[in-house]
Structure 1
Amino acid sequence: MNKPELLAPAGNLEKLKMALIYGADAVYMGGKSFGLRAFSDNFAEDELKQGIDFAHSLGKKAYITINIFPHNDDLSALPDYIDSIAAMGADAIIVSDLGVFRIARQVAPSLPIHISTQANSTNWSTVQFWQELGASRVVLARELSLTDIKLIRQKVAIELEAFIHGAMCMSYSGRCLISNYLTGRDANRGECAQPCRWKYHVVEESRPGVYFPVAEDERGTYFFNSKDLCLINYIPALIESGLNSFKIEGRMKSVHYVATVVKVYREAIDSYLSAPADFSVKQIWLDELQKVSHREYTTGFYFNKPTEQDQIYTSSSYIQSHDFIGLVKEYNPQTGLAVIEQRNNMKVGEEIEIMQPGAENIMQKIEQMYDAEGAPIEVAPHPQQIITMPMSKPVTPYAMLRRPERRRTSS
């Protein structure tokens, strides 16, 4: 049976490491230029090299995004950039534009090229075209149904990748002009201002300054605002479709988001492959996906054309049930103490949950905490403060501490 790659987003070096440690087979990341997430942390060139080397040390892969639609003034630095990425040992670059594809073929002919979802590959003939040009993989457009994907799989030999989880763009595979028109920030050059999430009213031409609600309620409506994609319930169908890579969206999402979502899909994929006849969706997976920052979930285009039920009209806020409060750096099995880097205010007496790679979650109460000098403390208020804490059970480095969120929603 086809074993799909689980491909995770990496907005910075820490997220890259967490994604791979929590079970991703590969990561995709962008440098400071030429990628479609200009406002994520992204990677300096030395960090790209570190990320690629870290992935390879685990026997995993790293892909670099060069998926903007460049203008003339973007091209002068591109050949040297592609050459440097090839020299670092990247496993592939992800491109959208034929001109970038051409330059990459000239500069680094042996470097594998993946075709971005931005290229709008919605049919088997387009995918076959990229195959004939020498691409090694096509990331399919998000507007495809599972039936479409199966037909493309029958027609082509090239690797196929598709998104299975994360934010959805209201425009055709992300080819959006609204941001550029309203703010001057070009979504197709990595600078999207996400105006699809803004609040809108109607203004009548002869009544400037008089705002009428479009619908829903007196606060306005978010009529471009899509729910997030989530296909955890459909792992068997996705694997049987012949997709080679399952892609998680979210280079601008948090470390907690990346680790949690990767862990859930890793467990689901492995569960199905180990015993297909006995597979069932576990409630714990569904619960975990509610704990990270997200919008309400949808299946996108996979099983039907989206309707009004797949949009959110009343708010652009995110939902999450838990806060990420600490990261385990070290654990001493003799003393039962863990060294923890604080990521959110935590207090003695709070009930917390500990999530760790490849293991079940642990519930415990914070009974004691000590500062870096060993003095007992009641609260850890400082960002990235180093503390020690007794653990009720053994934990591993990169385990994440979280607690039920004090506030129920966040923007």
Structure 2
Amino acid sequence: MDVLRAPSAEAGTAADGGTRTVPWARWALLGAAGGAAAGSLVAGATSGLASYFARQVLTPVRERPQDLAILAVVGSGPDREIILPATAETTAPGVYSVYFDAGAGHARVGEVTSYSPREGTVQRKVERVYSGDLARAVRGWWGGSAYPDPAALGLAADEVRIAVEGGDAPAWLVPAAQEARTWAIMVHGRGATRTEGLRAVHTARSLGLASLLISYRNDGEAPHAPDRRYGLGLTEWRDVEAAIGYALAQGTEDVVLFGWSMGAAVSLQAADQSVYRDRIRALVLDAPVINWVDVLAYQAKLNRIPETVGRFSQWLISNRAGRVVTGLAAPVDLKLLDWVARSDHLAVPTLILHSEHDDFVPYGPSAELAERNPGLVTFERFSSPGHTKEWNAEPEHWERAVTGWLSRVLALPAG
């Protein structure tokens, strides 16, 4: 999922394509202006910032900021390594991706071979360059989708099309080793693509499940929503419903939904509202958005946006009067997306995997949902840095937790 960025007071962009941080010190000077004029300016600025923040949440971003400096690439062939600035994510164990050349280049990086806290750099093994000339790259971004397609996992797959509103949505169908009565449907997060679900395909296959890795509205592959805005789960679930319908038409009996971040919010709505909800056997949710109000408040704080501005942004998103600035065809009912408050409405066995160090979607609501509905919700805590990086940093933990839990829920034979 993309990290939201606040606008500057001038609403400009930084040189790297990201958005500059709000200089609140300048806004504080308005207090010295005194009188109604200053109050009017503050009110206007508050409204403008709230509108901008709401649009940032709802509008798909097509260009990712290349906010990772690629300091050097050394060696060649199997001995090639990449040197990057040391951060909590770039020094974490596991397998990740470095995207460069505006996303046209993609390299998979693995183990840390050298770490220099003094110099603030980390050196990692380059496992594979899938596209682009990494040696010439100078900037890019860090990602958790380590593989570009099922073939990179050594698996055959069919490219299929699923009929959705506005056209067809592409998907990968990775068959099980034998005929499968249950399919896993992988639902990626905000700003991500179907590659995000590749991390779970081997696990699903080990359980005898076929995997359908879908695209959905506004993700750059599936058709746009009519308003070209995210519904935060309240509209996207219909594309998941279409995917379930496709699976059932191919002869499967039921499905397990795997959802990452906003994809988890989408999956929860599908389990709540779809005509096929009785065919959903289980939910596996990685770093899920359990309560959008909590996430929006956290993001506002992260971007140093005053609490009142953040609350006004939520009002704009959830009320009909806000449509003129958000561009939404219909307001988003944030109460329907609060699964802590609606814990008794959850009727599907659910496994939540969430890191306590998630820097985008706090894990608190995940733990609270499990506490409120312990009969159906199992919470598995991780300690990996970053958002939706649980599998990347702790693959054995992730796969063991999912395999053990799904084996019990689906009543699979031992071994």
- More helix per residue: 1 or 2? 2
Query: Do they fold alike, i.e. is TM over 0.5?
Result: no
TM bracket (short chain): under 0.3
TM-score when scaled to structure 1?
Answer: 0.25
TM-score when scaled to structure 2?
Answer: 0.25
